[in-house]
Amino acid sequence: MSRIFAFAVGTARSSTAGTPLDFYFPAPVINPDPDLAALIEGSFSSGVHQVAPGSLDRFAEAVGDPAMADVMRRLAAADRAMTAVRLDADEPIDSPAAAYLKLHLLSHRLALPNTLNLDGVFAHLPNVAWTDAGPIDPAELPAAQLKARLDGGHIEVLAVDKFPRMTNYVIPSGVRIADASRIRLGAYLGDGTTVMHEGQINFNAGALGPNMVEGRISQGVILGEHSDLGGSASTMGTLSGGGEITISIGKHCLIGANAGTGIPLGDRCTIEAGLYITAGTPVTLIDETGEDVRTMKARELAGGSDLLFIRNGRTGRIECRSNRKAIELNDQLHAHN
């Protein structure tokens, strides 16, 4: 039984004072097969290490996977030290390098959201000014800005955040992303996912693909295949002041523009544009003949399939009935080539 849970080699950047700022791991692995695990065990000890690039040559020659061998060969030819991370179990995060490795695993589609132990991710990710001159420690930013101004230029600060944008580390195949700043490293974008300008995907959250994402996918939320998150729609997260139920949305659902959900939904559900369902929202269930069945809190419908939620424009009450029109996503809209 292999002792290796995850492994990566890549580049690290640090502040002038030596604080780690970010790590780039181009070929991370999770649960390696026995041969690769044995090779990793024989070449790297557990934890985070600086490795001389030359020492990666032997590893590149021995590794079976051609893509990984190619990455290793390129790293071995570099003239800078590399960082290797070997995690023997999926334990709480205890270093910035381990945090970056787990975020890479998610965005490389090697792990689904909510399947990794991310405890400690906030504590171990440094806050960074992400600029067009690279990552800068916010404490060192004023001096860097002054220097740039004195040289006649300026530094464009794109974000000040613990999480960088995903696309500077990995671009999963078969996706379209209208505004790269709205997707954090650690987001999971399945094949065939389109994220429009209003779409946003947090770390440890994502869309299994194919999907149209024009709204916000909060931390922990997963959007199932062929579901559509309408313009500015919202999925309720659990990080700050949200409920404790992790939201997931099944297949072939449509969350209308400006709508939102605080309950998980099964397959083929629709929420009318502009309607926000929270766990405590009173919802009147309507049967096939249009008669009221009963009124309940929305949380009782959590996880249900084939549900259509509307706010009745005549009475103002929120109603749920059988969803007759499961959406078919427009093929042309979702083409990625």
Ligand X SMILES: CC(C)(COP(=O)(O)OP(=O)(O)OC[C@H]1O[C@@H](n2cnc3c(N)ncnc32)[C@H](O)[C@@H]1OP(=O)(O)O)[C@@H](O)C(=O)NCCC(=O)NCCS
3-state secondary structure 46-91: CEEEEECHHHHHHHHHHCCCHHHHHHHHHHHCCCCCEEEEEECCCC
* 66 near ligand X, judged by CB under 6 A: no
Minimum distance from residue 325 beta carbon to ligand X (Å): 6
User: What SS3 state is found at 22?
Assistant: strand
- Stretch of 43-51, 238-246, 282-290, 305-313 lying at the interface with ligand X (CB under 6 A): 305-313
Nearer Cβ to ligand X (241/290) = 290
Q: What is the C-alpha separation between 164 and 244, in angstroms, rounded? A: 26
Closest CA to 118 of 95, 91, 96: 91
Nearer Cβ to ligand X (197/336) = 197
Q: How many binding residues for ligand X (CB under 6 A)? A: 15
Specify which residues 234 forms β-bridges with.
216, 260
Nearer Cβ to ligand X (110/327) = 327
Nearer Cβ to ligand X (245/257) = 257
Q: What share of the chain is helix, strand, coil (3-state, %, to 5)?
A: 20, 30, 50
Task: List the one residue from 310, 318, 320, 329 that touches ligand X (CB under 6 A).
Answer: 310
Which residues, 234 to 273, sit near ligand X by CB under 6 A? 254, 256-257, 270, 272-273
Q: What is the DSSP letter of 183?
A: B
Q: What is the DSSP letter of 259?
A: -
Which residues, 199 to 238, sit near ligand X by CB under 6 A? 214, 230-231
Work out the angle at residue 203's Cα, subtended by the Cα atoms of residues 93 and 191, and round it to the nearest 5 degrees: 125
> Which amino acid, residue 265?
L
Minimum distance from residue 271 beta carbon to ligand X (Å): 7
Torsion sign across C-alpha atoms 239, 178, 195, 132 = negative
Nearer Cβ to ligand X (120/274) = 274
- Stretch of 107-115, 138-146, 235-243, 310-318 lying at the interface with ligand X (CB under 6 A): 310-318
Token pair 């005549």: residue: 314
Minimum distance from residue 268 beta carbon to ligand X (Å): 12
Task: List the one residue from 311, 318, 329, 334 that touches ligand X (CB under 6 A).
Answer: 311
The alpha carbons of the chain give a radius of gyration, in whole angstroms, of 23
- Stretch of 137-145, 150-158, 292-300, 312-320 lying at the interface with ligand X (CB under 6 A): 312-320
- Stretch of 21-29, 100-108, 282-290, 311-319 lying at the interface with ligand X (CB under 6 A): 311-319
Residues acting as catalytic residues: 214
> Which amino acid, residue 119?
D
Residue with the shortest CB distance to ligand X: 230
Closest CA to 212 of 266, 245, 256: 256
Nearer Cβ to ligand X (137/272) = 272
3-state secondary structure 194-249: EECCCCEECCCEEECCCEEECCEECCCCEECCCCEECCCCEECCCCCCCCCCCCEE
Task: List the one residue from 16, 55, 312, 330 that touches ligand X (CB under 6 A).
Answer: 312
- Which residues bind to ligand X, rule: CB under 6 A? 214, 230-231, 254, 256-257, 270, 272-273, 310-314, 325
